[in-house]
Amino acid sequence: MINTFENIDPADHADKPSQKKPIFPVNDELRQYLIKYGREVRLPVSYQDLQRYTYTVPLKDKFGKETAWEKASYDMHEWKFLRENLVRIYAILKTEGDMSFINHLDVARIDFCYFGNSQPFRVRIVNKFNDNYDHYYIKQADASRVYGLELEHLLSPNRMVYFTDKKTLIEEHIPGIPGDIFINDYLKDSNTNLIRLAKEFVKFNERCFVHLLGDMRSYNFVVNITPDIEDFQYRIRAIDFDQQSYEGRKNLYLPQFFKENKALVDIVIKHLDKESIAQYQAEERTMMTFRLVSSRYRVKEILDIMASDMISKDEKIEQLKTALANHFNAPAAFQKAKTMGQLFPDRFQRCVAKYLEFILMQHQIFKATSLCINGNRSLLPAGRKKCRWRIGFNHGNFRWAHNTSG
């Protein structure tokens, strides 16, 4: 178990991600995957429709400070069209398209974010009866973001609600306290349990590195606080997924190395020892392995598609190959990978193979099971000869194949 919190060099920071990441189109294979699993639907409004605003006004927070969002205004004809159909999209997100509940809903406003790669629109839906409101987002469909959302849905403790329609992506709002606000306003609160928060940051750091999800600076994640027996529990959730397997610098996939997160790193170093950090890393990898086993076929499908999709630049792929080889002290492990998607399985198997072996052996998920890493190492219990399933990672080809041989 590699403890990435040990001996942190202040000079070994993450730097900033690429200023302008390109939008990668959703290819035909990924589109068919989205259709198969109900993620591709017909939407009444596209991202391009929302771009037809007449002007925007800076949006301020409750303290009068300007934010990265601007309120968009439309002419009456456009507003009538959007007002009706954006409520319909909310019904698609929340009630699987049941329109019988939309009469008491309305669009309060549409916000535009000029900051970031996807330049999203945020739609506020309000209940006309009690003024309760909710949000969702309309963005450009980016293959990187789709892979990030899907891997988060399958391998993390969080369920993601999103849909695509050609070049448009809609996402459910992820509730929580933005990380930068939490650090400024809650970290020094006497009610904040710093030990439990440190534990959750270690787990979040581990999830991001295993998933190769980059750019988790404090404003790209939220913190959920749940009252528990005599105290509180914390969950850190990513809210921005467009840096999925794109950057070449390894530390960009480790939230601990961003200066914006330094306050959280400091409480980890202060309150956790090396053994505790290793324990929490192992706990998170074990849970990821359980999720892998339960969603094995779907994980295989998305990784196979990702392996043939070019979602980064050649120089970034080469840089990350070298960085991961040095990190795992395995010079030849990643050299055959040609895409970021082919790097992912090799990286993933080095994190979960031990836990997958334990789960399959101890809990007898299959009657007779063999775990084959790179197709050549059997981990069957002593005396067991038949192998019904083979799980393998082989330079980007993620295999979960039926094997009837003895």
DSSP, residue by residue, 132-156: -EEEEEEEE--HHHHHHHHHHHHHS
pLDDT of residue 18: 61
Residue 106's alpha-carbon distances to 72, 126, 210, in angstroms, are 16, 5, 41
- The secondary structure element, H or E, covering residue 401 is strand 397-402
Read off the pLDDT of residues 237-273 as tens digits, 9 standing for 90 and up: 999 999 999 999 999 999 999 999 999 999 999 999 9
**pLDDT value of residue 377:** 41
Specify the pLDDT at position 19.
Answer: 64
pLDDT at residue 355, as a whole number: 74
Pairing relationship of beta strands 389-394 and 369-371 according to DSSP bridges = parallel
Model pLDDT, residue 372: 43
The helix (run of H) or strand (run of E) holding residue 28 is: helix 28-36
pLDDT value at position 380?
38
Dump strand ranges (E) for 268-334: none
List Cβ neighbours of 157 (8 Å cut-off, separation of 6 or more): 235, 287
pLDDT of res. 360: 65
Q: Whose CA is closest to 345, among 287, 314, 391?
A: 391
Q: What does the pLDDT read at residue 364?
A: 53
Distance, CA of 117 to CA of 23 (rounded, Å): 8
- How many of the other CB atoms lie within 10 Å of CB of 302? 23
pLDDT of residue 345: 80
Q: What pLDDT is recorded for position 294?
A: 86
Q: What is d(CA 44, CA 81) in angstroms, rounded to the nearest whole number?
A: 10
What pLDDT shows up at residue 66? 87
Q: What angle do CA 44, 21, 310 make, to 5 degrees?
A: 85
With a cut of 50, list the residues of the chain below it in pLDDT.
1, 10, 365-406
Query: What is d(CA 307, CA 282) in angstroms, rounded to the nearest whole number?
Result: 27
Residue with the two structure tokens 């916000």: 111
* DSSP 3-state of 231: strand
Enumerate the H helices of 55-142 as residue ranges: 76-95
Amino acid at the residue 81: F
The dihedral region occupied by 239, where left means phi > 0, alpha psi between -120 and 50, and beta the remainder, is: alpha
